[in-house]
Chains A and B, each alone.
Chain A
Amino acid sequence: MTMQPIIEIKGIGKKYTISHSAGGYIALRDVLANIFKNPFRFAAHKAKTAMGIDTKEAFWALREVDLSINKGEIIGIIGSNGAGKSTLLKILTGITPPTEGEIIMRGRVASLLEVGTGFHPELTGRENIYLNGAILGMTRKEISQKFDAIVAFSGVEKFLDTPVRYYSSGMYVRLAFSVAAHMEPDILLVDEVLAVGDAEFQKKCLGKMEEVVKETGRTILFVSHNMAAVEKLCTKCVLIDGGRVKMVGNTKEVIDFYLHTRKEMSDSDLGARTDRKGSGFVRFNSCEVIEMDQEKHLLRLAIGYVNKTITPYVNAKVSIGIKNAKGEDLSNITNSVLDQKIELKPGKGMIEVEIKHFNLETGEYLLDLFMATDSLNSEILDVVVDAAVINVDNAGFYRTKRLPPVPSKVLFDFRFTQHP
């Protein structure tokens, strides 16, 4: 009986060199053209790189990460987008090697980085169970033994011999998760899988994971943005920020700390935030509440943007995601559902959003901002998660300034009528 931790992470770092090529990949054509156009510059660059005077920009996705995880622990890994959570999981699974440091893992590892990896649309459900199982690291014998359990859990018995391209997305996810859920690794790495599937199936998955841990003492690393799920499942939590471990400890404490810092961050200048995605041709630069009227139940937001190009985007899509403090999505407000056109003119501009009957309970809410060139999201211009925090005070929602005796997440405008 050893009391050694099942995973020991010692000083792990991962460096990426940022390439400035426009398309995201390098074309041999361009490289060759460059060599012919500027043979001297190319040679000088090569010489510099060889001598170690590296001119490339380096970016550390992870730095000096130390962690040790004991057998049977369920560890939540949280942090904002781009903090390095997924990079850590990728290193743990061996998909990408670390630049420095060492990890010792005492047990068989399996990952659920994305369910359905390797599913082939042309193959039947039955064939995909075998293929996917093999890709995830199960042997043919193991898959055959668990085949019936996998099928039963997924609930797609009737369609086993149908190619999966005819499956609905729900069936597809269920089958994929079932295969993954029946692996028997000592260490299971999970990344955001629960963001898919219907609510009932999500519950089933969470239940299965809990059962797996309790019965067999397996260790799970769970990366998620869903604070509610992390809180429910994990005993311990790790907060990663800017590639470093910022806090390790009791789940509740870590989550509270994270939510608190995130709120502070959203107070900082929106235009200067770097944790964003999209092409950046147009960027959000402000998001403010201009009116919150308790009596009229009205909320007005002003969203500022800068279009850095010289062309207007005539049919842009703008959406605002509303989340509660735990990060659960509550609603999404977008011009595309109304078929309303938004034109993003070059230079600075402002969009006003008016929400009538804003009826959420008193509390803090987070806003995600999203902007694309059209309603098909052909080109995503800017995405800022947790762009702003709004403090809703709906204590005066009802004329009487009283609130329902039972906590209510949503307040309705209602009226009673009596018929004798």
Chain B
Amino acid sequence: MPTSTETIENIIRPKKTFSLYDFREVWNYRELLAFFTWRDLKVRYKQTAIGALWAIFQPFITMVVFSVFFGTLAQIPSDNVPYPIFVYVGLLFWQFFSGALSDTSNVLISNQAIITKVYFPRLILPLSSVTTKFVDFAIAAFILAGMMIYYGYVPELASIAVIPLLLIITFMAAVGGGLFLAAINVKYRDVRFVLPFFIQTLLFVTPVIYPASIAGKYSWLLALNPMMGVIQTARATLLGTAPINWELVSISFAACLVLLVIGTVYFKKVERYFADVI
């Protein structure tokens, strides 16, 4: 947001490629990012009767249902950890990722009234969706803390460093994938009907409800899925299911970085047409 009152010279030219200036611009508009996040949280919590509890309610109920059906009835292995806490760690990261991905991919359509009327860096919108989901994540993390106390787990000291890294990877995956899908969604309006199905399917190829070890010697294939590395590592560091596999973390990080670059480049390429197409 241009705050200074001295003369600012603004030059408008046909847009070709993106430059570093675009990122500086996003930084200048950070206050708007905060406003959009605040709006989304406020509106959502106003619309639901239970308000902020919704953020806890959703993963908690899913955890209970999964524990009953997959843990108790189907007897799915859980790396020698009680199934509820095993699945909750997975769900916590998964719902952050999937929620952010689906919100991000719809964010341009749902804000089209603003996009066609006012200029601001469009990257702000997807970023605010992910930030909103991060707030939900932070609230839902309290349940995990409670469960860890209940089941008597003490996280490794390394997790102080590892968890933020995992969050960064998830953030990159959601932003990268979300930017790509958001741009496609503007161009092809039928994409949004396929998306829920797509995200649903992703859940089953990610070791959320089952341990990655179930795939045996093919588990390296799962490593291409960045969320697999995140969830595996989270379990390793929080529940001590296995030593942290740094190789896996690196692969996930690299995969997300590639995803983020592809997403951003594609988004920036399509961005200039948003106001015309929407």
Contact A107 B8 (CB under 8 A): yes
Asked if A135 and B114 make an inter-chain contact with CB atoms under 8 angstroms apart, the answer reads yes
Our pick among B35, B118, B272 for the contact of A97 (Cβ within 8 Å) is B272
A residues 25-60 near B (Cβ < 8 Å) are 25-29, 31
**Which 6 A-B pairs give the minimum distances between C-beta atoms?**
A28-B188, A94-B119, A134-B35, A103-B12, A97-B15, A105-B10
- Looking at the assembled complex, report how far the CB atom of B69 sits from the nearest CB atom of chain A, in whole angstroms: 35
Flag whether B117 is at the interface (Cβ < 8 A). yes
Q: Which residues of B contact A29 (CB under 8 A)?
A: 190
| Given A26-B187, A28-B188, A135-B32, residue A118 in contact with residue B12 (CB < 8 A) | no
Q: By the criterion CB–CB under 8 Å, are A117 and B39 in contact?
A: no
Question: Which A residues contact B (CB, under 8 angstroms)?
Answer: 16, 25-29, 31, 90-109, 111, 113-114, 117-118, 120, 122-123, 127, 130-131, 134-140, 186
| B1-16 interface (Cβ within 8 A of A) | 1-3, 5, 7-15
Chain B interface (Cβ < 8 Å from any Cβ of A):
1-3, 5, 7-15, 31-32, 35, 38-39, 42-43, 46-47, 113-120, 184, 187-191, 272, 275-277
**Are A107 and B116 closer than 8 Å at their CB atoms?**
no
Nearest CB of B to A147, in Å: 15
Interface contact tally, CB-CB below 8 A: 117
From A90, A93, A94, A98, give the contact of B14 (CB < 8 A). Answer: A98
Q: Which residues of the other chain, B, contact A186 by a CB distance below 8 angstroms?
A: 7
Distance A31 CA – B184 CA, assembled complex (angstroms):
13
Contact of B118 among A25, A95, A104 (CB under 8 A): A95
Write out the residue numbers on chain B whose beta carbons fall within 8 Å of the beta carbon of A28. Answer: 184, 187-188, 190-191
Give the complex CA separation of A122 and B45 in angstroms.
Answer: 11
- Residue from B1, B14, B46, B277 having most chain A Cβ neighbours under 10 A: B14
Give complex CA distance A198, B1 in Å: 33
Contact between chains at A108 and B117 (CB < 8 Å): no
Interfacial chain A residues near B115, Cβ < 8 Å: 95
Q: Is the CB of A120 within 8 A of B188?
A: no
Q: A135-B114, A136-B118 are in contact. Are A105 and B12 (CB under 8 A)?
A: yes
Determine the residue in chain B with the shortest Cβ distance to A8. Answer: B11
Query: In the complex where A127-B42, A130-B35, A139-B1 touch, is A104 in contact with B114 (Cβ < 8 A)?
Result: no
**A122 B43 Cβ-Cβ under 8 A:** yes
Q: Which A residues are CB-close (under 8 A) to B114?
A: 117-118, 135
* A92 surroundings in chain B (CB, below 8 A): 12
Q: Considering the chains assembled together, what is the distance between the CA atoms of A23 and B32 in angstroms?
A: 33
**Pair A102/B190 contact, Cβ less than 8 Å:** no
Query: Would you call B189 and A94 a contact (CB within 8 A)?
Result: no
Q: Which residues of A contact B43 (CB under 8 A)?
A: 120, 122-123
